[in-house]
Amino acid sequence: MSKFSWTILKTSKKNKARIGKITTPHGDIETPAFIFCATKAALKSFTTKDAKNNNTQIILSNTYHLMLQPGSNLISKHGGLHKFIGWNGPMLTDSGGFQIFSLGYGSVADEIKGRKTNSKIRKTVININEEGAIFKSYIDGSSILLTPEKSIEVQRDLGADLIVVFDECTPFNVDKNYTYKSMLRSHRWAHRSINAFNSKLKYQSKQGSAGLQEIYGIIQGGIYSDLRLESIYFNQNKINTFGIAIGGSLGSSKEEMKEVVNFTASKLNNIQPVHLLGIGDPIDIWTFVEQGIDTFDCVSPTRLARHGSALVKGKKGKINLKNRKYKEKLSPIDNECLCYTCKNFTLSYLYHLFASQELLALQLLTNHNIFFMNNLMETIRTAIKEDNYENKKKEWLEN
């Protein structure tokens, strides 16, 4: 069985963009790469076989949701997530810490877009303390305590190749004092997560239900530069992890998000693979790859598809296929796109499917958006390889 390794194959001469390779027991990941979210162990409306046919390298599933349903023990009996969902490639699971944020305050998209969600969202986080976070299950209403040790236990049962420490993702609208206290608690939780990961209570050390695993640390600190620096120091000097992720609040606007990510990425030692949690806008990916980010994850490509939006090149980024202007358009989404959808179907047909509420619409548009994201990452890797990043980026944005 292959072990884990991280290799930097090439770094751009003009910025920090780099091509790398993450080797896992279930295959290699060429970076920069995008990780698609199969939150509840399924890519909505799409099979893992289709995902592989569209050049998908790695899939992410959610610890919190799978802990509640169907339960991590059942998944471990299958031999882990890989066999459970029929995916013979690398996988990553988050820790459940993001749910402290999303179930208590709203989504990252809500935050970045400045939506006021506090009065509308059904909050299910009961309490956060040193021991962990107490949630109210959306399945049966029962109270569940999720601790760093429990998170790691569940992630070992799920068996993903890459797992992450348990943390709290604070929203932007809490003050610096709370952000600081939360960051320090997340650091203590990280120590507990790693101790649990290295224990042999259920599996061999550093193993899960599907074999060897590796763990990522998470940088917190919200929008505050000094806190980010403290968290970077902690992650790079006080704990030993395979990779490092940039997490926590990234601000209340696109501009603030870029400032936070760019500052954080600029202070990293660039020895480990770097993951950016929850960001999937293509323009942002072009920007953050320049800062040395290696992998990204987000629900947006598949979620946009379910709502009728197709990803396209250029600053516009997407088009809404439910718009009546596409009713008689006999061209595909993109004449140059080689995905199954664009090679076989017109905008007019896709409009018809959505207007008729045909389920095929979701599958065909998901197919395009997944192919699009993987093609974007391939374009970026080629641009780095050819030392032509700025020209490729400009060409892509002006398409």
Do the bridges between strand 162-164 and strand 214-219 make them parallel or antiparallel, or are there none, so unpaired?
parallel
Query: CB burial class (10 A; 0-12, 13-18, 19+) of residue 122?
Result: exposed
Quick one: which H or E segment has residue 100? helix 97-102
Separation of alpha carbons 22 and 273, rounded Å:
8
Separation of alpha carbons 201 and 44, rounded Å:
34
Instruction: Decide: 124 and 138 in contact? Cβ < 8 Å.
Output: yes
Q: Is 28 a catalytic residue?
A: no
Q: Is 94 a catalytic residue?
A: yes
As a dihedral over the C-alpha atoms of residue 292, residue 297, residue 303, residue 305, rounded to 10 degrees, the angle is 60
* Contacts of 334 by beta carbon, 8 Å cutoff, 6+ apart: 312, 313, 342
**SS3 assignment, position 86:** coil
Instruction: Decide: 302 and 43 in contact? Cβ < 8 Å.
Output: yes
Listed residue (28, 33, 31) closest to 3, CA to CA: 28
Which one of 284, 294, 297, 334 is the catalytic residue?
A: 297
* Contacts of 148 by beta carbon, 8 Å cutoff, 6+ apart: 132, 165, 166, 189, 190, 192, 193, 196
Beta strands in 121-173 (DSSP E): 125-128, 133-136, 143-146, 162-164
Which one of 28, 94, 226, 387 is the catalytic residue?
A: 94
R_g (Cα) of the chain, nearest Å: 21
Instruction: Decide: 168 and 128 in contact? Cβ < 8 Å.
Output: yes
Separation of alpha carbons 86 and 79, rounded Å:
11
Question: Would you name the residues annotated as active-site residues?
Answer: 94, 297
